[in-house]
Amino acid sequence: MRSLLRFYVQSSLHVGFAVVALTKITAHYREISLANSFWLGVFCLTVFGYNLIKNSPLWWKKPLWPLDRLKVMSLLALAVAVMLLFPTDPWQWMVLLSIALLSGFYTFPLRANHKNFRDRHGLKIYMVAAAWTLVSVFLPVVYSGDAFEYSLIYLLFSRLLFVLVATLPFELRDLHADAVHLATWPQKYGIKGTKIRGTMALMGFVGIEYKLVPDLDYFFLSLLMAVILVAFLWKSRTKQSEFYSSFWVESLPIVWWLLIEFFTLSTI
């Protein structure tokens, strides 16, 4: 079971479900409906993108053939994502191109002998949060043809803050492994300072959610998720169990969506 769980996490299937869950929360807030093919496309796009980011240095060092199972899964995910999410209007092209450029610059340097954006001073955490926000906020909006309203700005900042704080347990875990020049939050502010700033960011998230969500009952679900995330953040250590961040913390968007689904069904 541990081996299966390890493959499930390392192959980015878990993070794929987490991104789909956040995207579904956006669709719920905006009251938009999308085909099942769209959700499968978002899942496959996330799986390919994360596997490319995490494993690209190893892939280039290995022989192209034979393909290992992770490469096969990633290439299949890319093919499905292209087929299901192929853009048909300028807004879709713009959002997908932005996601591709952000992921590409994060992984590959612009020029030889230069650093990629991940390895540049202080950019790592913000690029992760931006990528998750682009996929989970803008993709469902442009693929549903929903209008760009003022409330979308609130949703944008709400999602940025939530993902930013959810990334901090990973930053704490990698404190001693990350190069000093990365200037991660734990490197700049220390462990306690990171946790304090993460808590303050979640207070901003709660304030935006109070203004954003359509019903007070749904706001309490957002508040509950903020409390759980704060608990995970303050329990985070530099030495964590294998699945603390990569499984349990990344499960929070899935739990959040399931609670919304349960509450929605119970009120019908």
First-to-final CA distance of the chain: 37
Distances (CA, A) of 223 to 2, 158, 161: 32, 12, 13
| Per-position pLDDT tens, the chain of length 268 | 888 999 999 889 999 999 999 999 999 988 899 999 999 999 999 999 888 877 655 555 555 555 577 888 888 999 999 999 999 999 999 999 988 888 777 766 655 555 555 666 567 788 888 888 999 999 999 999 888 888 888 999 999 999 999 999 999 998 887 777 777 889 899 999 999 999 999 999 999 999 888 678 889 999 999 999 999 999 999 898 989 999 999 999 999 999 999 887 776 6
pLDDT digits (tens, 9 = 90+) for 200-235: 999 999 999 998 886 788 899 999 999 999 999 999
87 with 122: CB under 8 angstroms? Answer: no
For 230-262, b/e burial (b = at least 16 CB within 10 A) is bebbeebeeebeebbbbbebbbbbbbbbebbee
Q: At what angle do helices 13-30 and 151-173 cross, to 10 degrees?
A: 160
Whole domain around residue 126: which residue ranges? 2-266
Instruction: Give pTM, 2 decimals.
Output: 0.90
Q: Which residues are within 8 A (CB) of 106 and not within 5 positions of it... i.e. 6 or more apart?
A: 53, 116, 117, 118, 127, 131
pLDDT digits (tens, 9 = 90+) for 179-207: 777 778 898 999 999 999 999 999 999 99
